[in-house]
Structure 1
Amino acid sequence: MKTKTLNKIVMLRKIILSLLISTAAILNANAQFAMLSPEAKVSLVTVGPGRELYSGFGHSVIWIYDPVNRLDNAYSYGSFSFETGNFYIKFLRGTLPYTISVAPLAPQAAYWQAENRSISEQVLDLSAIQKQKLYNYLETNYLPQNREYQYKFFYDNCATRLTLALKAACGDSLIYNGYTDEKLSFRQWIDRYAYKQNPWADFGMDLAIGAPSDEIATADQATFLPDNLSKAFADAKVKTASGIKPLVMAKNDLFLATPVQYEETFTPMHVFWALAVLVMAFTYWQIQKQKVNFTFDKILFSIAGITGWLIVLLWFGTNHGVTSWNYDLLWAFPLWMPLILSISAKKKPAWFQFLLIFYGFLLLCATGNLLKHNYVVIPILLILIIRVYYINNSLSKIPQKG
């Protein structure tokens, strides 16, 4: 009997000790978050696009400034470390962890200004309670166990995370409709920004992303772009005891970038159309002179095949969420590499004619996807169609190899 009583006492002590430890942990967690003063200011800071691809879509941060508590925190959800193990593999696969970072605004603004990127501030008209909730939310996210997240360019990035933070702080009092000015697909939004910065990078991104990118972004999803998020905040409102008021009470231009004129020499469109004309002329010369030589075709279709294998890798080997169902595989047919290497000017495999017919059907299907795609694909398809015609025409004069 005494043993049972002793065991109960020991168990009770363990429970009490566990509760004390848990309570202490909660108190310590709350204690590290400062109580904002009435002078605290909360702002959405939007940074314009930069010249580099990673900065070409702009950036967003939430800035909390409290002169009484000497608090100057700019919260950014767009940080990652080059020191991460297997960095490039994780980056390509879409599994690179991103984190929220916190730093004073001035040093960051100086860096953006040096890159000639516009910086604007929207001061949010939040109540003291809402400011505190937002601050606590961001600080909780910044705790070591919370700060990492799985970055998704379209669905979960530096801009979309700030919408979640605002909604968590304001709750049902927030009237937020997202970006409602235009309805574009994710691909069209990318083209609007990426082409201006780097037409070749835009072409590469168009090749990499698949059918999910052609979906029309909802008003909420469109705020994955910082400029759209800024507009959504400007249109948002907050319910108060005295009525409904705009979320943004003031806007300040912290820095205006000097306009840059981007040159369009040697864009993909120029290069591939020039190549299409040259291929047309070269093919006409080969047919007129009855020249049967497949060296160019082996190079061309090997490149198309390798491109196809890269698309397959992005589709099945990555976690980006937007590289699946990529219909560029219709023209970048992976099996061209190595099948194209089997033809020669002396003999042809018996099955190669069927391959050409099948590929011709794929090219026909590929033309149906042009309206949603980068129009650079038009001269690419033209080049491939011309060379398929040449190969078929030339093979008809060569003895078959079983």
Structure 2
Amino acid sequence: MKPYPNKITGTMFLKALLTPKLAALFFVLTFFSITTTFAQFRTLSPQAKASLVTIGPGDELYSGFGHSVLWIYDPVSGLDNAYNYGTFSFAEGNFYVKFLRGTLPYTLSVAPLMQQTPYWQAENRSIKEQILNLSPSQKQKLYDVLETNYLPQNRKYQYKFFYDNCSTRMVDVLKAAVGDSLQFPGYTKDTLSFRQWIDRYAYKQKPWSDFGMDLAIGAPSDDIATPAQATFLPDNLSSAFDDSKIKVGNQTLPLVASTRDLFVAAPVVGSDWLTPKVFFWALALLVLAYTYYQTKKELINFTFDKILFTIVGLVGWLILALWFGTNHGVTTWNYDILWAFPLWLPLIWYISKDKKPVWFQFVLILYAVLVMAATANLAKHNLVVIPILLLIITRIYYINNSLSKIPQKG
């Protein structure tokens, strides 16, 4: 007699299934497994509705561009699911490192919409619902796609502010549900770059945030956003839905059946008076006056310059870190590196009123060329960078003039 094998091979298992009883049992178990998998998603009633809900901008930077959720509501079964692709957790390991590097995973979360609306209302954020013109089968498919996305193995994704966010995901899941039945032209009313879209939201309402974002993002953000890409902003997505159509049976209908305001935000009055433009122009004028005073009195003191160019160097190192050390996709090729010269830190600390390195003159010449080249990028910051360049050029002149009076040291 042959000994029993110490393992069962795939061929042996298949041969065993060829017996009628085992084959029947295998079919029953397989069918039960498949039906159980699909049965985990409930069947919507004919009264169910699917809506795009758009939440207006908030005061915080992360909410300053608005928000989008897909809402499945079924009054018969009591289903109230708002699917939110903009969720992240502070409990994530190395949270701040991942956030800065652009590797923080975002998650699809689900919660009743009516539990969330008081929170948005308290922040004075408008809430608009657009009920989608979907057939019962299309609503069911949309619900199934969303629930499949919400499975633990699927709910995390790599967030990209311009290209893959809580707004763009709305289109992705809708297309996955209805396929070619959807005619989606995107946002076609304006043609702007990604940076210009950011400016439209932040330049007046949050000028310091706008300045910080302009400083951080590079040349890719100056690409013109296509109609589809422009829907990275929830308001643009809402407008694009109004312009879209859906095929239902033999009819082609508007995608949005009806619209209603769940909450209308009160007008925001006033804004911060100390904008980057005001601050840097005031600083530039003070620096001009201070430099004139030092030059007139023939005073040689580099204390202010060491502070100023240490800050400039730190900004440069931050730009390099965002350029090469992150995964945001839009912080590369940042030409602010021309004026925010990283090597100012530590080079500026090599000069004093008693001595100067021989090579420092070459650093000044190089930097002067870089600063002049940086003027080609003025429009990037809505001209806020003009006073920055002005005060830098002023202090370069002062340093160069002062170095000519100091004995050289190699």
TM above 0.5: yes
Partner of 2:80: 72
Of 146-155 and 259-268, deviating more is 259-268
Deviations 1:70-114 (A, max 9, x none): 111110101111111111111111111111011111011111011
Partner of 1:296: 304
Question: How much does 1:262 deviate?
Answer: 3.2
Partner of 1:256: 264
The 3-state SS of whatever aligns with 2:321 is helix
Of 195-204 and 342-351, deviating more is 195-204
Of 134-143 and 10-19, deviating more is 10-19
The 3-state SS of whatever aligns with 2:146 is helix
For 1:388 and 1:274, locate their aligned partners in 2 and report how far apart those are by CA, in whole Å: 19
Partner of 2:392: 384
1:338 partnered with 2:341: no
Partner of 1:26: 34
For 1:273 and 1:23, locate their aligned partners in 2 and report how far apart those are by CA, in whole Å: 73
1:108 partnered with 2:87: no
Return the letter of the residue paired with 1:57.
F
Question: How much does 1:264 deviate?
Answer: 2.9
Instruction: Identify which of 129, 140, 153 aligns with 1:145.
Output: 153
For 1:196 and 1:24, locate their aligned partners in 2 and report how far apart those are by CA, in whole Å: 59
Partner of 1:238: 246
For 2:396 and 2:29, locate their aligned partners in 1 and report how far apart those are by CA, in whole Å: 74
Question: How much does 1:243 deviate?
Answer: 3.2
Uncovered stretches (5+) of structure 2, i.e. residues with no partner: none
Does the aligned pair in 1 maintain the 2:205–2:271 contact within 8 Å? no
Shift in CA distance, 337/20, structure 1 to aligned 2, threshold 3 Å: farther
Return the letter of the residue paired with 1:269.
K
For 1:297 and 1:19, locate their aligned partners in 2 and report how far apart those are by CA, in whole Å: 80
Instruction: Identify which of 254, 265, 271 aligns with 2:273.
Output: 265
Shift in CA distance, 159/18, structure 1 to aligned 2, threshold 3 Å: farther
Does the aligned pair in 2 maintain the 1:60–1:76 contact within 8 Å? yes
Does the aligned pair in 1 maintain the 2:211–2:381 contact within 8 Å? no
The 3-state SS of whatever aligns with 1:95 is coil
For 1:25 and 1:354, locate their aligned partners in 2 and report how far apart those are by CA, in whole Å: 75
For 2:38 and 2:381, locate their aligned partners in 1 and report how far apart those are by CA, in whole Å: 51
Question: How much does 1:292 deviate?
Answer: 1.1
- The equivalences for 1:81-96 within 5 A come to 81-96=89-104
For 2:282 and 2:309, locate their aligned partners in 1 and report how far apart those are by CA, in whole Å: 18
Partner of 2:55: 47
Shift in CA distance, 19/322, structure 1 to aligned 2, threshold 3 Å: farther
Once the two structures are aligned, what percentage of the paired residues are identical?
67
Partner of 1:227: 235
Shift in CA distance, 99/344, structure 1 to aligned 2, threshold 3 Å: same
Deviations 1:235-287 (A, max 9, x none): 00112444321100100001000101132311111110000000001111111
* Number of residue-to-residue matches in the alignment: 402
1:159 partnered with 2:171: no
Uncovered stretches (5+) of structure 1, i.e. residues with no partner: none
For 1:52 and 1:94, locate their aligned partners in 2 and report how far apart those are by CA, in whole Å: 19
The 3-state SS of whatever aligns with 2:261 is strand
Q: TM-score, normalised by structure 2?
A: 0.94
Shift in CA distance, 18/285, structure 1 to aligned 2, threshold 3 Å: farther
Q: TM-score, normalised by structure 1?
A: 0.95
Question: How much does 1:3 deviate?
Answer: 7.9
1:38 partnered with 2:46: yes
Instruction: Identify which of 192, 197, 208 aligns with 2:205.
Output: 197
